[in-house]
């Protein structure tokens, strides 16, 4: 049974707002139609962002543990229907309303890391 627009789910206002921005469907659905293999990883933590390189060849980049964790989550997200995963570090920084929009998928050691990462996916 479809949900009514007046759903009491805490994510409902955000979902309606996103629908206004993407009238033809979600970004994920659009990318699936293009047959693009993708995953989105969300993490949080200190990073360094800036131009790196020699004076004749600067390259803007972002480095840090949070960047690496997000990249590993993006790889892992390809195995999930929603194709989006979030780390516990990011959810720890989120407010209560945002945290209710995510469901725990457990913990695992991501490739190239030595400690467990708490993983969550968006509530559907």
User: Which domains, from first to last, does the chain contain?
Assistant: 37-122 (3.30.70.1230)
Per-residue model confidence as pLDDT tens digits over 13-69: 544 444 444 445 576 677 667 777 789 999 999 999 999 888 888 899 999 999 999
Q: What pLDDT score does 77 carry?
A: 95
Q: What pLDDT score does 100 carry?
A: 94
- Rounded CA separation 102/78 (Å): 17
Per-residue model confidence as pLDDT tens digits over 70-116: 999 999 999 998 899 999 999 999 999 999 999 999 999 999 899 99
Q: What is the DSSP letter of 24?
A: T
- Rounded CA separation 30/77 (Å): 17
Q: Which residues pair with 86 in a beta bridge?
A: 42, 120
- Rounded CA separation 68/65 (Å): 5
Nearest CA to 38 out of 87, 81, 68 is that of: 81
> Which residues have a Cβ under 8 Å from the Cβ of 53 and sit 6 or more positions away?
59
Q: What pLDDT score does 21 carry?
A: 41
Q: What is the DSSP letter of 8?
A: -
pLDDT top residue among 2 and 43: 43
């Amino acid at each position: 049974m479809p949900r009514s627009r007046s759903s009491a789910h805490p994510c409902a206002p955000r979902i309606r707002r996103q629908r206004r921005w993407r009238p033809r469907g979600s970004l994920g659905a659009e990318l699936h139609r293009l047959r693009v293999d993708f995953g989105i990883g969300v993490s949080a933590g200190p990073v360094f962002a800036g131009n790196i390189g020699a004076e004749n060849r600067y390259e803007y980049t972002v480095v840090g543990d949070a960047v690496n964790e997000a990249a590993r989550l993006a790889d892992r997200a390809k195995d999930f229907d929603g194709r989006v995963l979030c780390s516990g570090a990011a959810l720890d920084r989120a407010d209560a309303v945002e945290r209710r929009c995510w469901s725990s998928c457990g913990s695992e050691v991501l490739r190239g890391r030595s400690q467990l990462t708490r993983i969550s996916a968006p509530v559907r």
